[in-house]
Structure 1
Amino acid sequence: MGEEVVSVAASLELLDDGEVVFVEGDLGWFKERGYGDMRGEKRYVFSPVETLYLVKHGKAEVYRYGRRLGFIELLSFFAMRDQNLWRDYVIYMDLRKRRYVVKEGFGPKLRFRVFERGEYQSKPAKYLVIPLYEGESVSVDELISLVRSCRSMDKVAVVAVLDRRNEVVYYHASTVELWNK
């Protein structure tokens, strides 16, 4: 499969509260491919990592006070609000490149919901991504707690580690009960 093609880049607006909203373009194209979410009755919003991805790939243009913002400006703006933005963006970009639909997860520790290829809109997400930087400490108890949370939601836990070269390595994480009979 080749690159996703959109006929004309959509217009998005960066609001004062940091939210990015859809203004103009082919909204159906974004919905079909799992970009953005409806908030309330009239607002279609995009997460910071989605916004960066769409701008980088020419699928959207973002405006603030009528001025078009570039990728670097957006990256700087969002990074001031989230110290893990780069890590999350690289992981998001890597998953999208692998043709997965990626949606926001349940907070910074269970960062992304990932849908099996071809199952978006027909089945719930199969995976929950636990993002880490290479060398970042995480306690075994915390990791077990996150894996159990994933299991309780009937999701597969995937630890995504961003290394120093901006490459992502994925690990399937699960708990094992060992019994001595």
Structure 2
Amino acid sequence: MSKDNSDSLEQEELEEEQEDEIEEEFQEPEEDPANVVFENGKGLVASEDADRLSQQGFYGTRIDGNKLELEPVELLHLIERKRAIASTPSGEHVGSDYIVNSLLEEDPDLWIRYLVFRDLRSRGYAVRKGFGSGIGFRVYARGDKPGAANAKELVYVLKEGVPISLSDLDLVTKTAAGSRKDLVFALVDQNGEVNFYKVAQSTLRDRSGDEQ
């Protein structure tokens, strides 16, 4: 974007700490993987496994009967880390490919969003699903727990080669400003690499100092 635009993008890698510090913060004990039922596009975890996934890893949302409901990206992440085994309601074991393919029609960008989710989690951040206006994720400051603190940043996911319209850009910046959170664009390139860009709002002034 040129310097004449009111919104400017400034590339910013999300703050990184030493790998050993991140591992220490998110260190999880070795344990048997949780059993997850994949149904209606969500992962359902019984109460006996729900506590450790929710408390130790900040995954999922509590639902009736003390069960845990996982978003698809959360389930994919747990499967990749060998912390969950997924199956259909009939008991057939399924993997990541099955989950992505079964949701392909209604959520064609699931894998793209998963790459962003995985990258953020690998940096030690707690991540929750976003909300309207195309916001993909809410990201919490390191050490903050969802439910006990508010998210610090909103992440909007972009694919390389797919532009964002000015109307969408205006909408997401207003959404972030209205919620008093920083807006970050996560751009996934054709190789699956993720780069983060922080969106900063600036005010242009003419030579007299008046705002434009």
SS in 1 for 2:104: helix
1:160-175 mapped onto 2 (5 Å cutoff) = 160-175=186-201
Unmatched 5+ stretches in structure 2: 1-19
CA distance in 1, matches of 2:164, 2:140: 26
**Following TM superposition, by how much is the alpha carbon of 1:70 offset from its aligned partner in structure 2, in angstroms?**
1.6
CA root-mean-square deviation? 1.8
Match of 1:111 in 2: 136
Percent identical across equivalent pairs? 27
Task: Tell me how far 1:119 sits from its aligned partner.
Answer: 1.0
Structure 1 residue 46, shift from structure 2 partner: 0.2
1:98 aligns with 123
Equivalent residue in structure 1 for 2:61, among 37, 43, 56: 37
User: Match of 2:103, SS?
Assistant: helix
Matched, 1:132 2:132: no
Shift of 1:23: 2.2
The structure-2 alpha-carbon separation of the partners of 1:99 and 1:117, relative to structure 1 and needing over 3 Å to count, comes to: same
CA distance in 2, matches of 1:104, 1:59: 20
Q: Unpaired runs of 5+ in structure 1?
A: none
TM-score (normalised: structure 2): 0.78
1:84 and 2:109 aligned? yes
Q: 1:25 to 1:59 in 2, by over 3 A?
A: farther
1:58 to 82, 86, 94: 82
Q: Residue by residue, what CA displacement relative to the aligned partner does 1:135-164 show, whole Å, maximum 9, x if unpaired? A: 111123321220121111011100000001
**In structure 1, C-alpha distance between the alignment counterparts of 2:133 and 2:96, rounded to whole Å:** 23
Cα deviation for residue 8 of structure 1 reads 1.2
AA of the residue aligned to 1:21: L
Q: For 1:5-16, list aligned pairs within 5 A.
A: 5-15=29-39
Q: Is the 8 A contact 2:47 2:66 kept in 1?
A: no
Checking the alignment, whether the CA contact within 8 Å between 1:6 and 1:29 is kept in structure 2 is no
Mapped partners of 1:6, 1:61: distance in 2: 15
Q: Distance in 2 between matches of 1:6 and 1:115?
A: 25
TM-score relative to the length of structure 1: 0.91
8 Å contact from structure 2 (residues 61, 70) kept in 1? yes
Matches within 5 A, 1:120-159: 120-121=145-146, 122-159=148-185
CA shift for structure 1 position 44:
1.7
C-alpha separation in 1, matches of 2:205 and 2:126: 38
Secondary structure class of the residue paired with 1:135: coil
**Counterparts of 1:48 and 1:6, CA distance in 2:** 23
Q: Which range moved further: 58-67 or 18-27? A: 18-27
Provide the secondary structure at the position in 2 that maps to 1:29.
Answer: helix
Greater Rg over alpha carbons, structure: 2
